[in-house]
A and B are shown apart, each in its own frame.
Chain A
Amino acid sequence: MNGEFAPVRGRFWTTGVKVMLVFMFAGAIALLARFFGGLGYITNNNDAYPWGLWIGVNVAGGVGLAAGGFTTGAIAYVLNRKQFHLILRPALFTALLGYTFVIMALLTDLGRYWNMYSPMINWNFTSVLFAVAICVMISTTILYIECIPIVAERFIGNVNLPPGLRVFNTIIDRLLKFANNTIDKVMIIVVIVGIVFSCLHQSSLGALMLIAPSKVHPLWYTPILPLLFLMSAIAAAYPVVIFEHLLIEKSLDKKPRMDILTPMARFMPVLMGIYLVLKIGDMVSRETYVYLFDGTAQTNAFLVEVIFGVICPFVLVLFQKVRKSPGWLFFTSCLAIFGILINRINVFIVSYSPPYGGIYYPSIGEIIVTIGFISTLFFVYRLGVTNLPILAVDSEEKAV
């Protein structure tokens, strides 16, 4: 497959990138405050609301949005649609960054982050969170393995360590070659294992809040919440891939690969439709629609989630015109991404009402850290595609 992917050449330091740098800096300062002052110093979390923005968006939202890796792996390898191999690398790389940032965000939210290895020794099989933790760890490892070819391709025959370490050049070169060849042989197995563990943790993430039936609003508290989490993650996966693709190609002045994105968008109505049917069916069968128009903040959040985050993108993407136009497709993908994000926020924050009251709003510090993390993710993604063979080379560029 050599020569199909290449680092993108383009102006790196755009205004947007400089703005991101500012956000990253602000986020880093806020994180310093968290690590020196404690969680209570910077977050609005308290004994009534132990989880807030960082769990809802950085962790649960991040995991949901990182589903693009395994789902693209599924169509490229399991369904074996060759055209999607061209988009597999950016999808895998995004997922890898997503999971890496989820783990880093989790570390900032854990009170005893230095004890992170504890779940590997102390197993509690009744804990949903334990299942999530182990499956996320395995999925992340799998993603790193799947991304080996990206690094290997860039450096094989090209290893150039600084003087003093040059003796290792040949060894590392051989190691890379060996790793690359091994991955090539077993890639399909790795992809399938990745799919299995991703499905497991996407669904078990949805089971987390089921431990608190008295605290979660009935609109969201359903025994099929794990299934809804899995389906919504899968439904939002291709929108994420399309979103980042259109964004990076716009920003690096590349032509959007609509020849891949339009066929990919064809999966969207099917997946979103299944999710929508499950979500509405669940509401009807549990008769929770009685809450729908009681005007509370919680039910309004539910309406926003379903109407703008699920129904709108579903209807839009039914039109061929939308699937073929980069602008419309970008807008639709944004809606779908908004939908899953608002769903995770709703499930983990909005639906949660502790028995002894109080209200939780994220603090400025929490918001700054979240924006900082997102900016860093975009920044590293940009660093990646400009230095590693991740994006597919256009056929015209190749000719030049």
Chain B
Amino acid sequence: MMLSRRNFFKIMGGAGASLATITGNSHAGESAETFDSFGCLVDITRCIGCRKCEVACNAHNKLPHQDFNDMTVLDDYRRPDWEKYTVINRHHGYPVDDVDHNVHIYVKEQCRHCVKPSCASACVVGALTKKKNGPVVYDEKKCIGCRYCMVACPFQIPAYEDHNPVTPRVIKCTFCYDRIEQGKMPACATICPTQAMIFGKRDALLSIAKKRLKNNPGKYIDHIYGEYEVGGTSWLYLSPVEFSFFPELGNKPPPKLTEMILSGVFGYAAAPTSLFAILGAISWINNRKRSITLNEVSGREGEEK
């Protein structure tokens, strides 16, 4: 391989420039952090475990038929899965009333629609997006089925249609995005007979929650789950007992670190371009030495032949 010095730099320069254009605009984008978005406040003290929210969710989202009158399902701990966007779970063993009776509580599970969602940040193709008004929605047309969103989700929410060989989808609560767009409430919040969940702007819900904490001393523990967890979630919870049934999470949005690393490595193509330049320089120096040695070698080989 013989390269004149000028040619070498011409090609190197061209390759470097095209590298810069490929990776130039790849610094992490900020997703809209709107506290003006919608949310839901779940007051666990009010939930009676009637499963009406599951019924409404099932009907509105046309999910597979189930028997919602069967209350024995509450005996087992359940997770949202490919046929359920939301489930109610019963948790036992909390001595909370005045005479230390063991009472149980009912807790609704569904996507929390994080303010800074890990799933949407992680998704290779942007199939999951955070809408300005709150919901995190999924677009199956873009999805390649890598399931990285499921790895990323701190609440273990996205489920997968594992049994579907050709067109499996990621399944999760949509926050009834279609209904919210029409100015309606999500199906589950509409039907709740005890108003255990109320729908509204997130900041309004937060002030309601804080008012309830203030006006009912002893009724709740002093913690609004979702106010700060993973940078805040659209769904907020008030509980009479410690949130031991939910994962213990930090207040930093998890995508912060990965997006920082990405913009550090790829931002303005600085790192790749400088690596390219350094390697280019080293090989240029070595190449000069080499052409000298090569000439010697070929000279010797010529003698042998």
Q: Is the CB of B118 within 8 A of A200?
A: no
Contact of A78 among B77, B155, B161, B279 (CB under 8 A): B279
Chain A residues near B151 (CB-CB < 8 A) = 50-51, 208-209, 211-212, 215, 352
Of B152, B159, B163, most A-chain CB atoms within 10 Å: B152
Separation of A119 and B79 alpha carbons in the complex (Å):
30
Contact of B279 among A124, A128, A195, A212 (CB under 8 A): A195
Stretch of B178-186, B191-199, B282-290 at the chain-chain interface: B282-290
Chain A residues near B27 (CB-CB < 8 A) = 125
Name the residue on A nearest B164 (C-beta): A38
Q: Does A296 contact B (CB under 8 A)?
A: no
Which A residues from 128 to 147 make CB contacts under 8 A with B? Answer: 128-131, 133
Which B residues from 128 to 152 make CB contacts under 8 A with A? Answer: 142-148, 150-152
Q: Does B105 contact A (CB under 8 A)?
A: no
Name the residue on B nearest A114 (C-beta): B166
Q: Does A258 contact B (CB under 8 A)?
A: no
Q: Does B12 contact A (CB under 8 A)?
A: yes
Which A residues from 198 to 244 make CB contacts under 8 A with B? Answer: 199-200, 203-204, 207-215, 223, 226
Q: Is the CB of B28 within 8 A of A126?
A: yes
Q: Is the CB of A187 within 8 A of B122?
A: no
Which B residues from 260 to 304 make CB contacts under 8 A with A? Answer: 261-262, 265-266, 271-272, 275-276, 279-280, 282-283, 286-287, 289-290, 293
Chain A residues near B28 (CB-CB < 8 A) = 125-126
Q: Is the CB of B259 within 8 A of A126?
A: yes
Which A residues from 95 to 121 make CB contacts under 8 A with B? Answer: 109-116, 118-119
Q: Does B168 contact A (CB under 8 A)?
A: yes
Contacts known (A79-B282, A111-B168, A214-B247); A200 close to B265, Cβ less than 8 A: yes
Is the contact region of chain A dominated by helix, strand, or loop, or is it mixed? helix
Q: Is the CB of B124 within 8 A of A130?
A: yes
Separation of A111 and B161 alpha carbons in the complex (Å):
9
Name the residue on B nearest A354 (C-beta): B156
Chain B residues near A208 (CB-CB < 8 A) = 148, 151
Interface string of A280-312 (1 = CB under 8 A from B): 000000000000000000000000000000000
Q: Is the CB of A111 within 8 A of B259?
A: no
Q: Does B34 contact A (CB under 8 A)?
A: no
Closest chain B CB from A274 CB (angstroms) = 17
Chain A residues near B164 (CB-CB < 8 A) = 38, 111
Q: Does B61 contact A (CB under 8 A)?
A: no
Q: Does A178 contact B (CB under 8 A)?
A: no
Separation of A271 and B77 alpha carbons in the complex (Å):
49
Q: Does A123 contact B (CB under 8 A)?
A: yes
Name the residue on A nearest B246 (C-beta): A355
Name the residue on B nearest A1 (C-beta): B1
Contacts known (A38-B168, A51-B147); A211 close to B283, Cβ less than 8 A: no
Q: Does B17 contact A (CB under 8 A)?
A: no
Chain B residues near A223 (CB-CB < 8 A) = 257, 261
Q: Is the CB of B79 within 8 A of A212?
A: no
Of A186, A196, A204, most B-chain CB atoms within 10 Å: A196
Contact of B289 among A43, A80, A115, A123 (CB under 8 A): A80
Name the residue on B nearest A203 (C-beta): B265
Q: Is the CB of B279 within 8 A of A189?
A: no
Q: Does B93 contact A (CB under 8 A)?
A: no
Separation of A188 and B249 alpha carbons in the complex (Å):
49
Contacts known (A196-B272, A196-B279); A38 close to B147, Cβ less than 8 A: no
Q: Is the CB of A125 within 8 A of B265?
A: no
Of B120, B122, B126, B146, most A-chain CB atoms within 10 Å: B146
Separation of A133 and B262 alpha carbons in the complex (Å):
13
Separation of A319 and B266 alpha carbons in the complex (Å):
40
Q: Is the CB of B1 within 8 A of A192?
A: no
Q: Does B165 contact A (CB under 8 A)?
A: yes
Closest chain B CB from A136 CB (angstroms) = 12
Contacts known (A188-B1, A188-B3); A122 close to B142, Cβ less than 8 A: yes
Q: Does A162 contact B (CB under 8 A)?
A: no
11 residue pairs from A and B, CB less than 8 Å apart: A43-B162, A48-B79, A111-B146, A118-B142, A123-B126, A131-B262, A184-B1, A193-B19, A203-B265, A214-B154, A355-B156
A47-B81, A192-B280 given; name 16 further pairs at CB < 8 Å. A35-B165, A37-B165, A48-B156, A50-B150, A51-B147, A74-B279, A82-B290, A82-B293, A118-B142, A122-B125, A124-B123, A126-B259, A127-B123, A128-B262, A210-B261, A214-B249
Nearest 10 Cβ contacts at the A-B interface:
A111-B145, A40-B162, A80-B286, A355-B247, A50-B150, A50-B147, A122-B125, A124-B126, A112-B145, A38-B165
